[in-house]
Amino acid sequence: LGTDIISPPVCGNELLEVGEECDCGTPENCQNECCDAATCKLKSGSECGHGDCCEQCKFTKSGTECRASMSECDPAEHCTGQSSECPADVGHK
């Protein structure tokens, strides 16, 4: 039996939690133009609120480099156009 306390998500605490699309803090402090700080949901028309593949609230187009190659065994990673996150860093052996 665990002793961890599980609390419900709290909108406005700057932590992305279950059920939230974004959490930029309180409405007074939010600096993210894509996020509705009162609801922790993306504003209408926004696809994303943060990430290496998110620009001006939209997914960066497919093929845009988001992580440079570090060597010939580590190819660059590119945005998919379907996610705000850069794909996992994959190296070849």
What does the alpha-carbon distance between residue 6 and residue 92 come to, in Å, rounded to a whole number?
Answer: 40
> Is residue 74 a known part of a binding site?
yes
> Is residue 90 a known part of a binding site?
yes
8 Å CB contact between 43 and 37: no
Residue 63 DSSP code = T
> Is residue 23 a known part of a binding site?
yes
pLDDT, mean of each 10-residue run, the chain (93 residues): 72 94 95 96 96 97 95 92 93 62
> Is residue 32 a known part of a binding site?
no
Each domain of the chain, given as residue ranges in start order, spans 1-50, 51-87
CATH 3.40.50.720 fits domain 51-87? no
> Is residue 4 a known part of a binding site?
no
pLDDT for the residue 6 = 73
What does the alpha-carbon distance between residue 7 and residue 11 come to, in Å, rounded to a whole number?
Answer: 12
The sign of the CA dihedral 13, 18, 22, 28 is negative
> Is residue 17 a known part of a binding site?
yes
> Is residue 14 a known part of a binding site?
no
